[in-house]
Amino acid sequence: MNSRIRLVSTFVAIALLLPALAQASGTVPAGAKISVVTDQSVSSKTAKAGQTVTGSVAHDVTVDGKVVIPKGSAVKLSVSSVQASGRLSTPAKLYLRLRSVTVGGKTYTIATSSAGRTEGGKGKRDAGFIGGGAAGGAIIGALAGGGKGAAIGAGAGAGAGTAGAAATGKKDIEFPAETRLAFTTRATVTIN
């Protein structure tokens, strides 16, 4: 009975170890997709270029049917490009780049594309605020004081429109914890 338990225990241990030993080696080619989930939040308002962000691999990375980078492997990302939102025409942007992955206790440097986004431009919307304010001011000024009043009203309206655009214009980008980002490798990396 004791030898049967030992035999079953040995078989189970081997069955569990073989996939773990087989999965942690291979070469990830350039152009491979790696999906990552962040562990912490990062914002265009406070982030700095080069800042480190941690995360983990979201899906197994396989090559020829073999797992090379297992799901859950720790990764380090860095902020590759960031710009806080400006009040009038500067849109926010925030991009991260995958820098390293840890597999089987070993850390591998990896070169990838950047992933992130740039907030849409606000130029047309701001021009609408400013132009609309100028037109409204000109109409009110014309009604109140004729031609001279229209000029004064247009200037006052444009100023009010500019203030309105500035007051409503800031919109930063935030990637909360557990944000999923996809990266593409730029060079091969061998995992052993």
Lowest mean pLDDT among 85-94, 120-129, 182-191: 120-129
Task: List, for residues 124-163, the tens digit of each pLDDT value.
Answer: 545 444 555 455 544 665 566 666 655 565 555 555 554 4
Q: Give the span between the Cα atoms of 96 and 113, in whole angstroms.
A: 9
129/189: higher pLDDT: 189
Tell me the two tokens of residue 71: 């799901």
Q: Give the span between the Cα atoms of 158 and 137, in whole angstroms.
A: 7
Task: Answer yes or no: is pLDDT of 122 > 70.
Answer: no
